Amino acid sequence: MTDVLAIVGGYLLGSLPFGYWVPRLVRGEDIRTKGSGNVGASNVFRVYGPSLGLPVALLDIAKGFAAASLGLWLGGALVGVLAAAAAMAGHARPVFLGFQKGGKMAATAGGATFALAPLVAVICVPLWLVVFAVTRFASVATIVTAVVLGALVIVLDYPWPIVVFGVAGAIAVIAAHHQNIRRLAAGTEHRFELRRPRRASG
Please enumerate in sequence order all residues whose Cβ is within 8 A of that of 113, keeping only pairs 6 or more positions apart, or say none.
64, 68, 120, 121, 124, 149, 166, 169
Query: What pLDDT is recorded for position 37?
Result: 83
Query: What pLDDT is recorded for position 9?
Result: 94
Whether 201 is covered by a domain: the verdict is: no
Whether 197 is covered by a domain: the verdict is: no
Whether 102 is covered by a domain: the verdict is: yes
Residue range 155-196, pLDDT digits in tens: 998 989 999 988 988 898 888 888 889 988 888 887 876 555
Whether 194 is covered by a domain: the verdict is: no
Please give the residue range of the domain that contains residue 49: 2-186
For 24-52, what is the mean pLDDT?
89
CA distances in angstroms from 76 to 70, 159, 163, listed in the order given:
9, 11, 14
Whether 83 is covered by a domain: the verdict is: yes
Whether 192 is covered by a domain: the verdict is: no
Q: Which of 87, 95, 90, 91 is nearest to 103 (CA)?
A: 91
Name the pLDDT band for 200 (thresholds 50, 70, 90). very low
pLDDT of residue 45 exceeding 90, the answer is: no
Query: What pLDDT is recorded for position 199?
Result: 45
Residue 18 half-sphere exposure toward CB, CA atoms < 13 A:
22
Whether 44 is covered by a domain: the verdict is: yes
Domain count, the chain: 1
Predicted model pTM: 0.81
Whether 199 is covered by a domain: the verdict is: no
